[in-house]
Structure 1
Amino acid sequence: MSDAPVTLSQVAREAGVSLATASRAINGSATRSVREDLRERVLEAARRLAYSPDPSAQAMARGRTTALGLVVHDIADPYFSTIAAGVARAAERAGLIVTLASTEHSSARELAFVELARRQRSRAIILAGGRLEPEGDAGVASGGGPDDGAPVPGALEAALNAFQEAGGGVALVGQPIGGLPVVEIANADGAADLARALHGLGYRRFAVLAGPDGHRTAADRTAGFTGALAELGSPVAPDDVLTCPFTRDGGYSAMGDLIKRADAGRLPELVFAVNDVMAVGAMAAVRDAGLSVPDDVAVAGFDDIHTLRDVSPGLTTVRIPLAEVGELATELALGRAERTRTTVRGEVVLRDSTPPRPPATPADDA
């Protein structure tokens, strides 16, 4: 018995059809279909002969592969890994395989991944992560400012539009780019909800670990939080809004600076970090300074990443359904969602890191 692989020509002969018909029946076609009886005959012949289709031939015939590209800024960040889990679930339901790329905070790499997906005829591509001002494709989330060699403004939008015009699906998670499909996170609204809830618990003196300058997610969360507090009569002093990298170490460093400059007994009552990984770093800095959360300073974050289950005390945060966001983005990229733009609003989750405060006394206000 020959060990040579079964060819499509053999399948065509076994089924009694032309090679072109066999190809369309097995590989699909972007322009022509096969009668159902012929298709079943070919597939039955392929099963009898144990024929394995050529993925490259299928891609050429259909015009698209079964790959869905997911591009994130940092796969080690639980925010992105949870979104990726949702994308993978939805892609599996659609019969697609996820190819994952991490930009490592490089906008040049992000653009290169989009171009690669276009050349490889990926079925769709999803970009997850916040953008930098003004429009956002000359820099990326989590790491700070634009990287060296960043693409010119508009390059990413142009590349995504070209991918879409060639028949691929596109979706963004975070902020919109032009008119492309997007799952937006209601960052400002969620942060404002958190500020009102904390004010209701009796907190009046706040500081904010605000992430890097120009980062749209960080800026929206900072503005929503400080704006709501100003409306409630508890404005945050400009000096108490500290910029830092959008990382655990960024939160640790900024919290350390806040502790060092604080006079005895004049730490803020509560520190809000604009994402959870920064908040975890801030809590570690408090402990390393010989202080306690929440006895010496309360801490809150944003996102409700799954690793918070191991943090003590439990961190107050704004829960974003990240896995569901990933699934929704996948449906959007595949053209299966009712709208091309949707907004997800978070839910405030109060935990032990921000217990209710007793009413202020005249000595507290002195």
Structure 2
Amino acid sequence: RCTSFARRAGRGSCVIATGNTWRGLAVASLLAALSAATHAELRSIDLFSGEVLASTRSNDERRQLAGKALENAYIRITGDADVLAKYPSLRATLDRAHTYIASYQYHELENSLDNSDDDQPALRLTLAFDQAALRRAISAAGAPYWQAERPLLRLWLVEQRGSQRHFVTAASSPALYQALQQRAALRGLPLELPASARGGASLTLRDAWALSNTTLVNTAQRNAAEQVLLGKVARRPGVGWLGEWKVYDNGSIETRRIDSRNAAGVARVAIDTIAGRLASRFSVGSGNELAGNVFELSIDNLRERSDYLRMIEHLESLDGLRNIKLLDIQGQRCRFSFEFAGSASKAQSLIALNRHFAQQNYAGELSFSWQR
């Protein structure tokens, strides 16, 4: 549930209602400035592979595990954890998942050689699937597609043990760290945990544990980040993990409670919240929907021939934009038409992910300024 807003402040941002009006206005100013100033840092992820745990290197077991790996790949490609329930034809492909395998690789799990329990998985199996085959399956099902270039998610989580608090790292809290990494990988989100300090002072344990909206916004601003997760958690014997997440996404703040029996549940609350938001914004339709909407796009600040050529390369690299056609050129400004399986606002968000396209605020138009 998103926190209550006193008023809208800028693109996609909000003022958090507080008891202190001036404090609320200060946060609003930060949110508005941040929405206008930040640009997502993108990382390319591997969409067409899946990882599963294995006990042997046998062909029979690999064939059995291929279905689960393919399911994980579908979740990553579409950004939807419920993709199989929504698109039954994709579920039907799991039985023949082994026919989609392009390559595979086994990795020894840490400490597996010392593990005396023969029932425990000793290997991690990575299956790379045929990209063309998966694209055809997704297109035939009419499922969405989320491009491989995705925003980097920065995350800080504080764990309390007794009277001691610490940031979650691979060394300090291996179970939580691994759970967060695994959930982010499943949902196709590049994750920095704990996030490195950028642009000044690092986040303190005290401020992170307080989880104030001002701290969250300041952290996003210092790191020039559009997506930030801050959380705090404590483990209670016989109860499980209790705590809270705050999710910052492009100017809005959402608070989520943590009440889980295991570390995987702690990770799921935060990662699934932000993954759902991003997938709904950036994934595009496929299948028959591709013949849907035609939009016009204008791009200015094209001063030289090299600007135009580079702009075309970046525009054509955006997944989801089809049949891009030049309509006219007027000075430093070009107009294009393109097909897109989604709304104008979704197309706008997708284009704005690329740092070379700066959004222009012209009502009713898709308009950008080319940035070298």
Q: TM-score range by the shorter chain?
A: under 0.3
Query: Which one has a larger percent strand, Structure 1 or Structure 2?
Result: 2
Normalised TM-score (structure 1): 0.26
Query: Which one has a larger percent helix, Structure 1 or Structure 2?
Result: 1
Normalised TM-score (structure 2): 0.25
Larger radius of gyration, structure 1 or 2? 1
